[in-house]
Amino acid sequence: MAIAKRALKPEFLSLTIAFFLFSFGGLLPLLYVTEIAVSGGMPIEISQYLVCILNAGGFLGRICSGILGSLIGMFNVSVILTLLCSLIVLVVWILGTGTAGAVVFAVLFGFAFNFVVAAVPVLVSQVSEFQELGLRVGVVWGTSSIGAIAGIPIGSSLIRGDEYVRMKVFAGVLIVGAAFFFALSRYFVGGGAVLKKV
C-alpha cells in the first residue's frame, strides 16, 4: 500500500505520463521513415540505409545523454531534447523532401529520440527511493509499452494513400505533450528555478 501511495507522487506520475506519450508518438517515425522517404522519391537502394543512419544518430544521442545530463541536469536536458524531437518531427519531417531531407531527419531524430530513451532510467532514479528503483523503472517501461502498442495502429490509421502529414502531426503533438509532462516532473523535483541543475 505504501508503494502504491508513493507511485502516485506527482513527480513520478508526470514522468510516467511523459514517457507514455513519448512512446505513443515517437515510434511512428521509426516505423515509417523508410516508407515515407521512398514515397517522396528516394531510391530504394539508398532508403535501405535510412535505419542505419537513424541508428548512427541514436548512438551519438545515447552517448551524449549521460555527458550533457551530468553537466546541466538530466531533467533539464530531457525537456530540451524532447522539445527538439517534436520540432524535428513537426518541421523537418513534414517540410523535408527528397533524399537530403530524409537523411537529415533520420540523423536528427535518431539523436534526439535515443537521447530521451537513454535518459529515462536516470530520471526515474531521481524521483525514486533506491529500494523501489527496479519496480518504478518497470512501471515506466511497462506503461510506455502500452503507448507504443496503441500509437502505431492509431497513427497508421491517419495515413491516406501517400499522404502522411496527419500522422506526422499526430506524432509531433504527442511528443510536445511528453515535453510538457517532463517539464512538469522537473518542476516537482526542482521547483520553478529555470537555471537550476535538475
Q: What is the mean pLDDT of the chain?
A: 93
Q: What is the pLDDT of residue 194?
A: 84
pLDDT-derived band at 161 (thresholds 50, 70, 90) equals confident
- Please state the domain extents for the chain: 11-189
CB atoms within 10 A of CB 128: 22
pLDDT (average), residues 129-145: 92
pLDDT (average), residues 138-163: 94
Determine the Cα–Cα distance for residues 154 and 171; give it in Å rounded to an integer.
10
Q: Comparing C-alpha atoms, which of 50, 47, 31 is closest to residue 153?
A: 31
pLDDT (average), residues 1-25: 86
Q: What is the pLDDT of residue 127?
A: 93
CB atoms within 10 A of CB 98: 11
pLDDT tens digits for range 95-113? 988 899 999 999 999 999 9
pLDDT-derived band at 140 (thresholds 50, 70, 90) equals very high
| The CATH number of the domain covering residues in 11-189 | 1.20.1250.20
